[in-house]
């Protein structure tokens, strides 16, 4: 099973791709990184750029399913709305390719991967490094968050 995890954003978005061998239950992280959109561009241009990047990722890696992080509203409602817009892009891309999507709260992702929902991005990255020693050193936190979303999806499906 191939799972694409997405940590959405309108300036920076993370992605992580994992494979789970259904015979051995071995999990492999085989691609992860970030998409950077030009913050000087309008929101529409950034979302179109993000859509192109997500579509390309789907075409190249052909995931069976996608896990996506829900926005955390907290104190910055404007930021939550922007993340919601980028989530919409992922949902549209998935629908165009007939790929099922599951959504997880940041607390649910962190609780599943680290063991407690109040874990920081740095703690998530540290836990992933412990579980997957070959994980690329220096991987951006948005990418490790996306891997965590993919793993959460794998554990909960």
Instruction: Mark whether 69 is an active-site residue.
Output: yes
Buried b (16+ CB within 10 A) or exposed e, 29-67: bebbbbbbbeeeeeeeebbebbbebbeebbeeeebebbb
Of 19, 140, 142, 145, which one is the catalytic site residue? Answer: 142
Residue 34 DSSP SS3: strand
Rounded Cα gap, residues 80 and 75, in angstroms: 9
Residue 19, helix vs strand vs coil:
strand
- Reply yes or no on whether 137 is catalytic: no
Between the CA atoms of 95, 100, 103 and 109, what dihedral angle is there, to the nearest 10 degrees? -140
Active site residue 7: yes
Q: Which of 19, 69, 140, 145 is catalytic?
A: 69
Annotated catalytic residue, options 7, 19, 140, 145: 7
Which are the catalytic amino acids? 7, 69, 142
């Amino acid at each position: 099973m191939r799972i694409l995890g997405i940590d959405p954003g309108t300036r920076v978005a993370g992605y992580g791709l994992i494979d789970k061998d259904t015979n051995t239950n071995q999990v492999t992280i085989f691609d992860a990184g970030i998409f950077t959109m030009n913050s000087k561009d309008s929101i529409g241009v950034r979302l179109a750029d993000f859509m192109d990047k997500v579509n390309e990722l789907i075409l190249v890696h052909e995931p069976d399913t996608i896990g996506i992080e829900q926005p955390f509203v907290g104190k910055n409602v404007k930021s939550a709305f922007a993340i919601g817009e980028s989530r919409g892009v992922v949902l549209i891309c998935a629908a165009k390719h007939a790929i099922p999507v599951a959504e997880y709260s940041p607390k649910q992702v962190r609780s599943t991967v680290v063991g407690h929902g109040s874990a920081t991005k740095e703690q998530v990255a540290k836990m992933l490094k412990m579980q997957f020693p070959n994980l690329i050193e220096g991987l951006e936190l948005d990418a490790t968050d996306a891997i965590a979303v993919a793993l959460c999806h794998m554990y909960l499906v």
